[in-house]
Amino acid sequence: MNKTIFSVGIIFGVLAVMLGAFGAHGLESLIEADAIDTFETGVRYQMYHALFLLILANTKLLDEGSKKLIFYLIVSGVVLFSFSIYLLATNDLTGFDFKKIAVLTPVGGVLLISGWILIGIRSFKKMN
């Protein structure tokens, strides 16, 4: 499982760098500045959680079951949070109204928060 967690962290990190460059250079003439800021928020949170996964994969404080649950929360959270933000920020470029799926963003945020809380609780229990 550690190899999977680490690999997904790497993939999320690479995608965050690529999407960040695309947002800064490829979208600047296509969408408004506030939409680019929104897009960059998605990139920033994706990168934070890429690093989170790299740390999760290498921690010895947690058992495999805890790591697996936290991994699923974080991956689901990134997909729902960051990727819905990318779609919402580029909404004007498509024929589909992504505002219909805007509810996914806060659901993703709750999953990310849950992953952080769970890693904290499970880690502190192991430290005592």
What is residue 102's DSSP assignment? T
| Cα(4)–Cα(121) distance, integer angstroms | 23
Contact 1, 63 (CB under 8 A): no
| Cα(115)–Cα(97) distance, integer angstroms | 30
Reported as a single tens digit per residue, the pLDDT across 50-84 is 999 999 999 999 999 999 999 999 999 999 999 99
Reported as a single tens digit per residue, the pLDDT across 77-104 is 999 999 999 988 888 787 777 777 888 8
What residue has token string 């993939």? 11
Cα end-to-end distance, the chain, whole Å: 25
- Provide CATH code, domain 2-127: 1.20.120
Contact 8, 75 (CB under 8 A): yes
Contact 7, 52 (CB under 8 A): no
Query: pTM of whole model > 0.75?
Result: yes
The tokens for 35 are 């939409």
